[in-house]
Amino acid sequence: MNRRIFGLPLLVIIFMACTWGVSSQEQRTVRLSPQEAVDLAIMNNLALENARIDLDTRRRRHELVWNQFLPTADFTGTLLRHNWPNTTQGMSIPGVIDIPSTELPRWNVNANFSASFVFSFALIAGIETIRLDYQAGLMGLDKARLQTEREVRKLYNQILLLEENMVLLRDTYANTERQAAMTEANFRAGLVPRLAWLQAQVAVENMKPTMSDMDNNLRALKGNFAMTLGLPFDTEFELEPLGGGDFFIPLDLAELISSAASGRPDIVELRHNIAVLHSTRKAQTLQLRTPFLRLGWSLSSTFNPMLNPFRDSLFTGDNWNNGGNFSITVGMTFNNLFSFTREGQGLVDLDNRIRSLNITLAQAIQGTELEVFTKVNSLMRTQTSTEVQRAAVELAELTYSLTEEAYRAGLQDFQTVQSSALALQQARLQLLTQNFNYLNDLIDLEYAVGVPFGTLSSRY
């Protein structure tokens, strides 16, 4: 009876654990389309966090740009003790007045409040600089998102390519096993020698390490893909296939190069950074070479030095001596007018940075034009190769079919069948690789041109 009582909860616990294990295994399988993978990466990818933090800093600076017109205010309170005693000068007039000298308290208290505001034309120019800097942050985040999207889409395609390759490899392995079984049957029937049977067995065993290596590569690639999406590295994926059909598209090289020179995210960011530097130089020039206006107001109160702050009341107004002033100051630093001074050299350094960035921009435009030219040529070459490869696959399929029929009839040896099967596998793999290379080159071209992914092809 006791065994039954204790056995029932144990069975319940085991059942719940198994159920939880199965459900957790099911939850780790993530079904994704290319766009869903991109959205997940943009939401979770750690590489974008720094760009988001940087943008938040620039956004707050932009939203609070008015705070530079707030006056600077500070308050100080001081408790001090004189190192040596001070005495007042006595006065004595016989028969009129007799004031003895008095030792003053060594402790004293004073308080000061001051506020000032400095205006220069650089403050107004600085508003534009901060606005441009915020826009540069937006562009930097957008570029990081596009780079992440490009990486995710290419990884997505690479996983699909390896999965398709695994399917081809498994089909080839199944054919090899079937051929080995057929060879064994022919050997036992006396149609082929024992060497052909052994060769068939060796062919089956030789494919196992290849399948194992490809499976490990696929698992590593999926782990990298999962980490890019911000998921655990052992997440299982079920990726939506890209579909079939003829997806080759016409490409206008001149139009693509023109679009890339003005639309590529890297080039757009470089142009904007140059605009930020020009605005910074303008603000710094106004700061150094135009006069400034300073408005100041101060209030000071000193406790009566004749009284002791520890004995007399600090909250009696008559015990304090009040002072203060309001001031208007106009000034200008003349050293800033000369280029050989430290301040003047700062402007020269800014000019050099602008020139250097312009050279970098010119190099980026040239590099982009060359990249677009190379990608378009690669796409056109891939298209031509794919059309040729399709014909090669059809020919390899026909050759393999005829060779296998001849082998079954005893007209061909096993090595001929094996060579025909290997040629068919290589032809299919090359066709598959060409298709995915075309898609990846198209992704790179869309990034280089600066258009949303999927603009040049409706497959995304």
| Highest mean pLDDT out of 9-18, 187-196, 199-208 | 199-208
Cα–Cα distance for residue pair 193/459, rounded to 1 Å: 52
How confident is the model over 131-148, as pLDDT tens digits? 999 999 999 899 889 989
Q: Which helix (H) or strand (E) holds 30?
A: strand 29-32
382 and 437 Cβ atoms separated by less than 8 Å:
yes
315 and 146 Cβ atoms separated by less than 8 Å:
no
Per-residue confidence band for 272, with pLDDT thresholds at 50, 70 and 90: very high
Crossing angle (nearest 10°) for helices 121-188 and 342-408 = 20
Mean pLDDT on 427-446 = 85
Instruction: Lowest mean pLDDT of 110-114, 183-187, 354-358, name the range.
Output: 183-187
What distances in angstroms separate CA 46 from CA 53, 109, 151, 228, 233, one per listed residue?
11, 55, 14, 8, 14
The string over 46-83, giving b where at least 16 C-beta atoms fall within 10 Å of a residue's C-beta and e elsewhere, is eebeebeeebeebeeebeebeeeeeeeeeeeeeeeeee
What distances in angstroms separate CA 349 from CA 80, 125, 206, 244, 337, one per listed residue?
47, 19, 66, 56, 15
User: Between vectors from CA 214 to CA 171 and to CA 233, what angle results, nearest 5°?
Assistant: 125
How confident is the model over 280-298, as pLDDT tens digits? 999 888 888 889 899 999 9
User: Between vectors from CA 46 to CA 44 and to CA 48, what angle results, nearest 5°?
Assistant: 90
Per-residue confidence band for 322, with pLDDT thresholds at 50, 70 and 90: confident
pLDDT higher than 50, residue 172: yes
Taken in order of first residue, the domains within the chain and their CATH numbers are 30-63+121-291+336-449 (1.20.1600.10)
- Can you tell me whether residue 74 is helix, strand or coil? strand
Strand 236-239 relative to strand 97-99, pairing: unpaired
Contacts of 179 (CB under 8 A, 6+ apart): 200, 203, 404, 407, 414, 417, 418, 421
Q: What is the structure's pLDDT at 171?
A: 79
Cα–Cα distance for residue pair 113/77, rounded to 1 Å: 9
Please choose, from the candidates 296, 298, 294, 295, the residue with its C-alpha nearest in 3D space to the C-alpha of residue 114: 298
pLDDT higher than 90, residue 3: no
Q: What is the structure's pLDDT at 21?
A: 45
Cα–Cα distance for residue pair 312/303, rounded to 1 Å: 10
Mean pLDDT on 389-415 = 81
**Greater model confidence, 344 or 153:** 153
Q: Both tokens of residue 19?
A: 């159920």
Contacts of 88 (CB under 8 A, 6+ apart): 101, 102, 104, 306
DSSP state of 82: -
In single-letter form, the type of residue at position 256 comes to L
What distances in angstroms separate CA 370 from CA 151, 267, 367, 373, 415, one per listed residue?
21, 14, 5, 5, 47
Crossing angle (nearest 10°) for helices 342-408 and 265-289 = 170
Q: What is the structure's pLDDT at 247?
A: 60
Q: What is the structure's pLDDT at 83?
A: 85
Mean pLDDT on 139-159 = 90
Instruction: Lowest mean pLDDT of 99-113, 215-229, 256-270, 389-403, name the range.
Output: 99-113
242 and 160 Cβ atoms separated by less than 8 Å:
yes
Q: What is the structure's pLDDT at 81?
A: 86
Cα–Cα distance for residue pair 347/10, rounded to 1 Å: 80
Average pLDDT over the chain, rounded to an integer:
82
pLDDT higher than 80, residue 117: yes
Torsional sign, CA 192, 195, 196, 198? positive
pLDDT higher than 80, residue 20: no
pLDDT higher than 80, residue 11: no
Contacts of 275 (CB under 8 A, 6+ apart): 132
Per-residue confidence band for 18, with pLDDT thresholds at 50, 70 and 90: very low
CA dihedral 99, 103, 107, 110 (to 10 degrees): 30
Q: What is the structure's pLDDT at 409?
A: 73
Q: What is the structure's pLDDT at 364?
A: 92
Per-residue confidence band for 388, with pLDDT thresholds at 50, 70 and 90: confident
Q: What is the structure's pLDDT at 330?
A: 92
Q: Both tokens of residue 370?
A: 């060359």
Per-residue confidence band for 91, with pLDDT thresholds at 50, 70 and 90: low
pLDDT higher than 70, residue 17: no
pLDDT higher than 90, residue 113: yes
Q: What percent of the chain has pLDDT over 70?
A: 88
pLDDT higher than 70, residue 307: yes
C-alpha radius of gyration, the chain, whole number: 41
Instruction: Lowest mean pLDDT of 66-70, 245-249, 310-314, 327-331, name the range.
Output: 245-249
pLDDT higher than 80, residue 230: yes
- Can you tell me whether residue 323 is helix, strand or coil? strand
φ, ψ for residue 306, nearest 5 deg: -80, -15
| Highest mean pLDDT out of 164-168, 205-209, 216-220 | 216-220
Alpha helices (H) in 231-321, listed in sequence order: 253-263, 265-289
Q: What is the structure's pLDDT at 134?
A: 93
143 and 52 Cβ atoms separated by less than 8 Å:
no
- Can you tell me whether residue 80 is helix, strand or coil? strand
Q: What is the structure's pLDDT at 423?
A: 83
Q: What is the structure's pLDDT at 9?
A: 44
Instruction: Lowest mean pLDDT of 3-7, 208-212, 284-288, name the range.
Output: 3-7
